[in-house]
Amino acid sequence: MRYLLSLLLCLLLSATPSLAEDPAEARELIEPKIDAVMMLLQDESLDKAERDVQIIALVAPIFDYPTLAKLSLGKKHWPQLNPGEKASFSDLFINRLQQSFLEKLDIYTDEKVLYGEPLIKGKKVHVPTTLVSKDSRIEMLYKMYRTAEGWKVYDVEISGVSVIQTYRSQFDGVLSDGTIDDLLEKLKTDGAFTITEPDETGS
């Protein structure tokens, strides 16, 4: 029995390094993408339309858009949709999400991004970052999990506010009194749904 316990302990200890590498992989995926986005924002040779296309193409591979769409409706509403409604909602939501991020990026120009140590949350990893300018600090948290295609972002927190939970609350407000068709129509309207503005704290 003592031999078996010792063997089990050795196996657990030998597995520890591989577990510790996972959070680092998530940060190593996020960091160059964010740095590249900041460089694009500072590139005055690009007009806004061209810059936006490049930014979306740059970050798209690290976001799990299907999961983001599903989570934004939650267990209450997503299962109620038929396949066609799910596809229509996902397309409109992804477009709305991308446009919202681009609108937020228009605010930022000369900020510096600081990267914190990844936090292990069960089988998921949270990658903290801080957007620092002369007058403010904005905390952002990229929530990631491993898929067959590698690490993917399934939510982002801005100053402690979950983007997905913000959308879910807004969508629930529409669906509590209306239909999925009402929500789809609203998603087609610019400015109908917004990501909560980040709170800024003095540096």
Helix H or strand E segment including 137 = strand 137-147
b/e map 185-203, b = 16+ CB within 10 Å: ebbeeeeebebbebeeeee
User: What pLDDT is stored for residue 12 in this prediction?
Assistant: 35
Cβ within 8 Å of residue 67, ≥6 positions away: 152, 154
User: What pLDDT is stored for residue 103 in this prediction?
Assistant: 85
Which domains, from first to last, does the chain contain?
Answer: 22-187 (3.10.450.710)
Which 8-state DSSP code applies to residue 69?
H
b/e map 77-99, b = 16+ CB within 10 Å: beeebeeebbebbbebbbebbbe
User: What pLDDT is stored for residue 128 in this prediction?
Assistant: 96
Angle, helix 83-105 to helix 48-59, in steps of 10 degrees: 120
pLDDT in tens, the chain (203 residues): 443 334 333 333 333 334 434 688 999 999 999 999 988 988 889 999 999 999 999 999 999 999 999 999 999 999 999 999 999 999 999 999 999 888 888 776 677 899 999 999 888 999 999 988 878 888 999 999 999 999 999 999 999 999 999 999 999 999 999 999 999 999 998 666 766 554 444 43
Helix H or strand E segment including 112 = strand 112-115
User: CA angle 52-53-57, nearest 5°?
Assistant: 115
pTM: 0.81
User: What pLDDT is stored for residue 119 in this prediction?
Assistant: 92
Residue 51 in contact with residue 43, Cβ under 8 Å?
Answer: yes
